[in-house]
Copies of this chain bind each other. A is one copy, B any other.
Amino acid sequence: MTDTTREIRLASRPEGEPRLENFALAEAPLPEPGDGEVLVRNSYLSVDPYMRGRMRDVRSYIPPFGVGEVLQGGAVGQVLTSNDAALEAGDWVESMLGWREHYVAKPDGLRQVDPSRAPVSTALGVLGMPGLTAYTGLHEIAKAKEGETVFVSAAAGAVGGVAGQLARIAGCRVVGSAGSQEKVDHLTEELGFHAAFDYHDADLAQALREHCPDRIDVYFDNVGGEHLDAALGRMATFGRVALCGMVSAYNLEEPPPGPRNIAAVIVNRITVRGFIVMDHYDLMERFATEVTGHIHSGELRYRETIVEGIERMPAAFIGLLAGENIGKMLVKVGPAAE
């Protein structure tokens, strides 16, 4: 046992692309768990693009991170000591309690993870928040239907890969964009996308004309910016756009130009709907049951990009925003489940 743990704090607010000096690795005291509390050792920490937004000092749907404070994100770990009947030593739990190796907490904010269902790391990816985001955007927000064309941007990311595969499973034609040939191959060869292209090489409007000959019924947007503009120009009548993220803008100090094709929203009677997964946790059980089934049947695959050691967390986050990951980006800080 230890009476300190290590954590990653926000040292200063990034301007533009985050740099290593915006983060600090620190020792923090680790109290003994009191009555009704548990001690958890984290195994995997999650880096997610939305966290860039919380590094700004602006009003949003969740408060900004404080400078000097530990950064918060999803984590999966194992209970070492339990002083509460709700959990036992050895149980696996997901938390939102920060980029740290250990923590002490009451069990009510923790979500128990079943290690027999799938590797515990999936609680942060395909079976966790990113997977639920994909499920919500595709089925609740955009209401994709069999036979439709679904376009997914950042399709090789943790959300995009699940969104595209769920669309394929629903009987849609699925087209993805990604940032390298390796990712494009991953989409078409591993994840079963019907078509994919590297947006760095492409004129987006032309790529969408080529790969979506019947136009786009559903656009699952993780990128914003030029992707959104081009997709709006290629939507079918009564098309739906699920606005999930705008990673193209996260490192910009000023908002980028908006979509000039906005008039297409009227002409083609498009619905553009933004959503935040935390409004949809009521879907978690249904989602997890369905997607676990798809994983076990082999219909849905996932990749993880795993970086080792909490000290590499800032680099992992910077790399995530630069598109270095395929699938879910994780930082391993402790032992995995047996």
Contact = CB atoms under 8 A, between A and B. Distances in A.
Interface of A: 60-61, 224, 228-229, 237, 243-246, 249, 255-276, 279
Given A229-B258, A258-B261, A260-B257, A246 B274 contact: no
Given A258-B259, A260-B255, A276 B272 contact: no
**Chain A at the B interface: mostly helix, strand, loop or mixed?**
mixed
A258 B230 CA distance: 12
A257 to B, nearest CB: 6
A255 B249 contact: no
B262 A259 contact: yes
Contacts of A229: 258
A258 B255 contact: no
User: Which one of A229, A257, A260, A274 has the highest number of Cβ atoms from chain B below 10 Å of its Cβ?
Assistant: A274
A224 B259 CA distance: 12
A261 B255 CA distance: 7
A270 B249 CA distance: 18
Nearest to A265: B274
B263 A246 contact: yes
Given A257-B257, A261-B255, A266 B279 contact: no
A224 B276 contact: no
Output the residue of A229, A245, A261, A262 with the most chain B CB within 10 A.
A262
B269 A260 contact: no
Most B-side CB within 10 Å, residue of A256, A258, A264? A258
Nearest to A250: B263
A184 B121 CA distance: 59
Contacts of A273: 265, 269-272
Contacts of A276: 266-267, 269
28 contacts: A60-B267, A61-B237, A61-B267, A61-B268, A61-B269, A224-B263, A228-B262, A229-B258, A245-B266, A246-B263, A255-B260, A255-B262, A256-B260, A258-B258, A258-B261, A258-B262, A259-B262, A265-B272, A265-B273, A265-B274, A266-B274, A266-B276, A268-B274, A269-B273, A270-B274, A271-B272, A271-B273, A271-B274
